[in-house]
Chain A
Amino acid sequence: MICPLGEIRIENVSHTYDGRAWALLDVNINFESRKTYALVGPSGCGKTTLLKIICGLIKPTKGKIYMDEVDITNTPPEKRNIAIVFQFPVVYKMSVLENLMFPLINTGLSKSEKIRRTKEIASQLKIEDILNFPAQKLSPADKQKVAIGRALVRDTDLILLDEPLSAIEPDRKYEIKKLLLNISKNLKKTMIFVTHDQTEALTFGEKIAIMSAGKILQFGTFEEIYYKPTCEMVGFFIGYPGMNILKAVLEEPDTITVGSLKFKLPSKDIAQKLGIHFKIGIRPEHIDVSTLPKEGYVPFKVLYTENLGRNKSVIHLRNDDLNIKALYEGEIRGISEVWAKLDSRFICFFDLNGNRVD
């Protein structure tokens, strides 16, 4: 049997710092071997707490953590064999080569083997030419490369990355992003990437966990999260601008009424689950807007236009008491009325509590 390597299972984990508020509440999540994951959410959502629990810096108030099916809940961090790359790159006051070799000190490998392995990693990271340079004098991007290199030199199957791009100089983010994507694609280690930035999460995560207020709202691929959000909060959090959430009524057995708009219900099964009153979600980019009247389009008054300065605008529209925002390709200037159509293929259904129904 082939053992899964670097697999992490979080079981019923809750954590409180002060005994009053839950920083994490009953979290269950499984990070499979050799995939790249992202944890994303606003500040205070619990993503950093979860990361600290995985690496052992915090022991959870409740619940268990398994690595490769072994309970490590009480294992101290230095015995967990997990590499971590931090937001502010940590390098030791020694040369780049010594930094990279540092994790190998107590491994019992021969010196030539240590050097061979270190140089192999250095060439992958394209830092062979600075091996003798004092690491502390490097720029943030090069320091981060050294920190990533140290994580790779170790014989570990799990790498945690805590906001690894936030402190990198803007003109070198490209390089570090490309490097991390290559590692994720080619090295087949389990990687967990923590970020507050939805773009980084969607770019790096094969699966993404969206967190809010100590809970995981959704854990899935980009397509699942973008097209099938489990709740209206996810619909709003992912995508820019966020999803429109609109009140809807089932007035006839197969017709949904949203303000003065009417849609055919996609299936009869869903009608029973929805009840009479519910909500629909539609993304601003899934609303087609025309400046001229068009078949099947409904007139809307233009309330406000937020130009984005890149041939795109967010336009805020109203029809009776129905307010929606749409993403418009181009600039709308001096126009007070447009015609819009909601693309019914992309409509999501939510109950009155905001949870997905399908």
Chain B
Amino acid sequence: MTRIVLKNIVKNIRGKNIFNDLNLEIESREVTVFLGPVGAGKTTLFKIIAGTESVDSGKIYFDDVEVTKLPPQKRDVAMVFQNFALYPHLSIFENIASPLRVKKYHENEIKKRVNEIAELLNIKHILDKKPHECSGGESQRASIARALAKNPKIYLFDEPLTNLDYKVREVLRFELKKLFKEVGATVLYSTSNPEEAAALGSRLAYIRNGQVLQTGAVLDCFRKPFDIDAASHYSLFGINLFEGYCKIIDSRKFLVIDDLFEVDVSDHKFLESGNEYFIGIYPHDLKLRKSSNEDIQIPISVDFLENMGSELIVVARSGNFIVRLLVSGLENLSELMNLTSAYVPLSRLLIFSKENRKLLKGDMPLGRNTN
């Protein structure tokens, strides 16, 4: 129920600058996902909000109340860590009970609460165990249970699924989704996995090198990535990148990508003839079949297929460029090996500046239907 505001945050750790004048507002009662690569500053940011890491300068507010100097135990924040961070000498029961003991709850009340929460997270059978006797998935459930027992205003989930086997991640991600709907608190969640971000978050904050470079609804950000690196972090399978240049052919303006394909961009003033551009296409935006006359055809020759079971990645070449297509696992494998073309709707082309790699005119996609 708490709005978080960070103003002019500066933070150095052992002489290395992590944040230099970071400003951020996080809305109350929303799930905000901090998506970014390893080393972006996600964990440090969460520790600063939790109060376990101080700032060199700048101010932190919870609902207009300054908490910059407030110790962690007075901030009413619970954090769930990537490496679970359970007390190794305590049973799972006592781990979950620990915030209740701090708050001096009665023994009967503690028993009742711990059992309720353990029931919710399906870990009643491990309450008597020690953390080292539990699997990764069980340990993280216990760690989430401890956060719930605290019942705080703000939850911080720092890459909680990263260290788990992928099937455990699949199950626990869905349980977190249900949980977030119920808790009615402000939830901050960090990850480097775009699928987790899309599945769990309503809002996204894209963080890289200690800077929040893009915020907004998750899918809107994915559709209009800040720059090429952001686009590659917004897709589990990276982004297909071509280089092209803009030129006039028969008084129409075209974006020409080697002798592979060309796009009529006469209506787009932001592209100048004589200039070079990067053209990005997400692997999931490339199709096997043409669906409209506006689709652009890209010649490919297939190198190999990566089989994910329910889906496949076709790894191919187009000229000197490597191209990946994400296709349904229901397709015929031997037909896929013989593909010679892929198709992309004009509106799904992302055009980036050659100079600073930023998305150009992200608010105005190509294609007549969307203009």
Residues of A within 8 A of B (CB): 42-43, 174, 177-178, 181, 196-199, 202-203, 222, 226, 236-242, 283-285, 304, 306-312, 314, 316, 327, 329, 331
Sample (26) of A-B pairs whose CB atoms are under 8 Å apart: A174-B315, A178-B304, A199-B309, A202-B309, A203-B304, A203-B305, A222-B307, A226-B309, A226-B329, A239-B309, A239-B310, A240-B166, A240-B311, A242-B167, A285-B330, A304-B177, A307-B198, A307-B199, A308-B198, A308-B199, A309-B194, A309-B197, A309-B219, A310-B198, A310-B282, A316-B174
Q: A240-B311, A308-B199 are in contact. List 18 more A-B contacts (CB 8 A).
A: A43-B165, A174-B315, A178-B304, A197-B166, A226-B309, A239-B309, A239-B310, A241-B310, A285-B310, A285-B329, A304-B177, A304-B181, A307-B198, A309-B194, A309-B199, A310-B284, A311-B284, A311-B285
With a CB–CB cut-off of 8 A, which chain B residues contact A284?
310
With a CB–CB cut-off of 8 A, which chain B residues contact A178?
303-304, 315
CB-CB nearest in chain B for A182: B304
* Contact A309 B304, CB 8 Å, known A237-B167, A285-B310: no
Ranked nearest first, the 8 interchain pairs of A and B with the lowest CB-CB distance are A309-B198, A310-B284, A202-B307, A306-B199, A239-B309, A42-B165, A307-B198, A239-B310
Q: Digit string of B225-252 for contact with A (CB within 8 Å is 1, else 0)?
A: 0000000001110000000000000000
**Bound complex: CA A309 to CA B181 (Å):** 19
* Contact A310 B170, CB 8 Å, known A174-B315, A285-B310, A285-B330: no
Are A203 and B306 in contact, with the CB atoms below 8 A?
Answer: yes
With a CB–CB cut-off of 8 A, which chain A residues contact B194?
309
Indicate whether B326 reaches chain A with its CB closer than 8 angstroms. Answer: yes
Q: Digit string of B273-285 for contact with A (CB within 8 Å is 1, else 0)?
A: 0000000001111
CB-CB nearest in chain A for B303: A178
Indicate whether B101 reaches chain A with its CB closer than 8 angstroms. Answer: no
Residues of B within 8 A of A (CB): 136, 165-168, 170, 173-174, 177-178, 181, 194-195, 197-200, 218-219, 222, 234-236, 282-285, 303-311, 315, 322, 326, 328-330
CB-CB nearest in chain B for A308: B195
Least distance between A191 CB and chain B CB atoms (Å): 15
**Bound complex: CA A310 to CA B328 (Å):** 12
Least distance between B208 CB and chain A CB atoms (Å): 16
Interface centre among A42, A43, A283, A327 (most CB of B within 10 A): A42
* Contact A203 B307, CB 8 Å, known A196-B165, A240-B170: yes
Neighbour of A240 across the interface among B136, B218, B308, B322, CB < 8 A: B308
CB-CB nearest in chain A for B315: A174
With a CB–CB cut-off of 8 A, which chain A residues contact B181?
304
Least distance between A29 CB and chain B CB atoms (Å): 21
CB-CB nearest in chain B for A175: B322
Least distance between B151 CB and chain A CB atoms (Å): 23
Least distance between B104 CB and chain A CB atoms (Å): 37
Interface centre among A198, A284, A329 (most CB of B within 10 A): A198
With a CB–CB cut-off of 8 A, which chain A residues contact B330?
285
Neighbour of B308 across the interface among A199, A309, A311, A329, CB < 8 A: A199
Least distance between B347 CB and chain A CB atoms (Å): 13
**Bound complex: CA A267 to CA B282 (Å):** 44
CB-CB nearest in chain A for B282: A310
Least distance between A158 CB and chain B CB atoms (Å): 23
Least distance between A135 CB and chain B CB atoms (Å): 27
